[in-house]
Amino acid sequence: MSTKRGAVAESIVCTAALARGRDVLFPARGLSPAYDMAVRGVDGEFHKVQVKRAHVRVRGASRTLRVNITDSQGKPYSPSEVDIMAIVDADTHRVWFIPLSELKGQKTVSLTSGKYNQWLL
């Protein structure tokens, strides 16, 4: 992420991982891989993590927490690029670590339904 909002989201994810005893690594400056950081999982392996900031979408009386999970060209990430999508609710600082395999090529995710709550940290 290249914006201030993106940097804040990355900081929230990093803090959440560190608070749970996980190691966090960042790519070297000047490199721009598809992932924002690598986090050591409970399996002891590092996993490539792409951080995305969710936003509230209001339509009439309906409020939905949504996030676009595509790259800068609007394409879904591939398993060779990213292992986990870390999604941050910028208002509450809640963080989801959702395996990319669970998202099955989706471009947008709604977090309001609770479908992904098993990955809420």
Q: What is the pLDDT of residues 42-69, one digit of tens each?
A: 899 999 999 998 877 767 666 677 788 8
Q: What is the largest CA-CA distance in the chain?
A: 46
Give all domains of the chain, ordered by start, each with its CATH number: 4-119 (3.40.1350.10)
Are residues 67 and 53 in contact, defined by beta-carbon separation less than 8 angstroms?
yes
Residue 45 has a pLDDT of 94
Residue 120 has a pLDDT of 84
Model pTM score: 0.85
- Compute the residue count for the chain: 121
C-alpha gyration radius of the chain: 14
Residue 1 has a pLDDT of 45
Residue 6 has a pLDDT of 82
Q: What is the pLDDT along the chain (121 residues), one digit of tens a residue?
A: 458 888 889 999 999 999 999 999 998 877 777 899 999 998 999 999 999 988 777 676 666 777 888 888 888 888 889 999 999 988 888 899 999 999 887 888 887 777 888 888 8
C-alpha span between 105 and 113 (Å, rounded): 19
Residue 56 has a pLDDT of 75
